[in-house]
Amino acid sequence: MNQHHEDERSRIRVAMDRLLAGQPTCSNGSLTAVALAAEAGVHRMALQKRHADLKEESYARVHSETHQTPEVEKRLRKELVRLKEALKDSRDTRPSPGIELSRWHSPPPSSSSGDSTTRTIPCPTTSSRSARPAITDLEAVLS
């Protein structure tokens, strides 16, 4: 790693300490990656890409030292709840495997039971990729 990256890393660590102490100098003081980058005087993408380990370290420190949930985790948990509700709603409103359809015309002549007015048509199966695996993956990430 070159000297410039080492300098950025040290500024990020010092900025992390200032934010956790509640003494921001160059940012709004929120405990986010954007505020950390502004406080350290580095571009946000430098923190996201080159120093992703420090970003994750800051999230871990926020969680352990302040007992607050990082904003990213709050958004993911909110999205998880929304997806679970949408999945539940889709299961509640989805028709049963067989749908009763009324016939608007008389049965075909080859049919032996002429008095039948309904028939059952099986529902097509849902796509092979359902919402449940995505929710399970998101739950695993957040636990």
User: With the CA atoms of 32, 33, 39 and 41 taken in that order, what torsion angle do they form, in degrees rounded to the nearest 10?
Assistant: -170
The domain segmentation of the chain, as residue ranges, is 3-66, 69-96+129-143
pLDDT value, residue 55: 92
pLDDT value, residue 69: 76
pLDDT value, residue 113: 53
pTM above 0.85, yes or no: no
pLDDT value, residue 11: 94
Distance CA 55, CA 92 (A): 41
Assigned token pair, 95:
């028709």
**Top-confidence residue, 143 or 70:** 70
The alpha carbon of residue 19 and the mean position of all alpha carbons in its chain are separated, in whole angstroms, by: 26
Mean pLDDT of 47-52: 92
What does the pLDDT look like over 90-130, one tens digit per residue? 888 766 555 555 544 555 555 555 555 555 555 555 554 55
What does the pLDDT look like over 65-99, one tens digit per residue? 888 777 778 889 999 999 999 998 888 876 655 55
